[in-house]
Amino acid sequence: MLAPCFLYSLQNWDIIFNAQYPELPPDFIFGEDAEFLPDPSALQNLASWNPSNPECLLLVVKELVQQYHQFQCSRLRESSRLMFEYQTLLEEPQYGENMEIYAGKKNNWNLASWNPSNPECLLLVVKELVQQYHQFQCSRLRESSRLMFEYQTLLEEPQYGENMEIYAGKKNNWTGEFSARFLLKLPVDFSNIPTYLLKDVNEDPGEDVALLSVSFEDTEATQVYPKLYLSPRIEHALGGSSALHIPAFPGGGCLIDYVPQVCHLLTNKVQYVIQGYHKRREYIAAFLSHFGTGVVEYDAEGFTKLTLLLMWKDFCFLVHIDLPLFFPRDQPTLTFQSVYHFTNSGQLYSQAQKNYPYSPRWDGNEMAKRAKAYFKTFVPQFQEAAFANGKL
């Protein structure tokens, strides 16, 4: 048995001699590489086998190794990215002259060696099929140089190429129109999103992920339709499906330029949410400090709501403060509510205010001081309106 090593992957080759006629050339069995079929005409030392030459077997093995190397190179053509890596190294003699490669399917025997007692066997077979289907779709892309360009440029960027699936084919067998869809898992970090935003999803949330689907409806990329898919928890955390709008694919644009734009947009949105959480917490902490016992209740988890009970000249009133998801960029709403007066529907008389001094650049302490000053100027007119429009 011979075990040549290719890139630290041992390949077991069986060399079988005829015990009755040892002078005859041996047979070779190439183990797991059943696809490797050497060209007999290129095996000169096997064709002119000389049993009296102690180097003869070694010479044959060297010829086989050379053909096996060529076989591995041909396998690399299934991947344009790997072929590029190989060719660029080959152009540098100091690297190319001392390089071996091994290419092929990591697990291509699970169906042939089906083991019903292995609970993972079906999963392994499906993974092999998916891998081959991916290669099949890649081969289809070669029908369009433009789409192949899109694929190869993404493949050269590991953060995109390692998490990309494609589907290519004819939309219509009658017209022969060709289309392709790219599905990319975007490299956006969701780990710092506040946990309270991620727990209100009833269904099984699965992995927190953002997927970008881009459909090319023709080979020249004149009709390109992108769509962003967010996992349920992320969609909920970012304010729902209507909260994030990705830009249209630009005319004459390329995926390698467009995908980073979407990643940047989504990353900024995530950062707004994280920043908003910390800013809301700072805001409520400042109000607790400034208003003390006037605080009735507040949201101690998401810091989205705060209620104050205040008094001005024997007039008691409530102030409900609602802090938006994208605070401080978006201004909080102040709702003043009389504790004495009711509307015709039986609700406490109230007025909502968003037109008051505010700057997103202020810190929480400054916002609390400005709010206190505003309360003093607004309450007299609110009291007057409550007496005029409400019922005791």
Q: What is the pTM of this model?
A: 0.63
Please determine, for residue 290, whether its predicted confidence score (pLDDT) is greater than 60. Answer: yes
Has residue 1 got a pLDDT over 70?
no
pLDDT band at 318; cut points 50, 70, 90: very high
Of the pLDDT bands very low, low, confident and very high (cuts 50, 70, 90), residue 100 is: confident
pLDDT band of 32, cuts 50, 70, 90: low
For residues 270-296, b (16+ Cβ closer than 10 Å) or e, as one string?
bebbbebbebbbbbbebbeebbeeebe
- The answer, yes or no, to whether residue 268 has pLDDT greater than 60, is yes
User: Closest Cα partner for 325 from 242, 255, 220?
Assistant: 242
pLDDT in tens, 139-154: 788 778 888 888 888 8
Average pLDDT estimate for 86-111: 72
Residue 182 identity (one-letter amino acid): F
Query: Stretch 75-90: mean pLDDT, rounded?
Result: 79
Cis, peptide link before residue 328, omega less than 30° from 0: yes
Sign of CA dihedral 324, 328, 330, 333: positive
> pLDDT-based confidence at 5, cuts 50/70/90?
very low
Q: Which residues touch 173 (CB under 8 Å, ≥6 apart)?
A: none
Domains of the chain by residue range:
5-96, 142-274, 304-389
Mean pLDDT, rounded, for 214-219: 86
Provide the Cα torsion 200, 205, 209, 211; round to 10°: -110
Percent of the chain clearing pLDDT 90 (strictly above): 35
In the prediction, which pLDDT does 205 show? 63
Q: Evaluate if residue 267 carries a pLDDT over 60.
A: yes
6, containing H or E segment: strand 5-6
Residue recorded with tokens 């290419």: 103
Closest CA to 286 of 258, 321, 314: 321
Region 165-172 average pLDDT: 77
pLDDT class of 247 with cuts at 50, 70, 90: very high
| Across 130-144, 147-161, 329-343, 353-367, least confident range | 130-144
Report whether pLDDT(229) > 70.
yes
pLDDT, residue 163, reads: 87
Residue 92: the pLDDT is 80
Section 65-93 average pLDDT? 80
Measured distance CA(99)–CA(251) in Å, rounded: 43
Phi and psi, residue 48, nearest 5°? -110, 50
Report the alpha-carbon distance of residue 210 to residue 222 in Å, rounded. 25
- Whether 239 shows a pLDDT value over 50: the answer reads yes
For residue 301, is pLDDT > 70? yes
Return the beta strands (E) in 178-328 as ranges.
Answer: 178-185, 210-216, 224-230, 295-298, 305-312, 315-322
Burial 351-366 (b: 16+ CB within 10 A, else e): eeeeeeebeeebebee
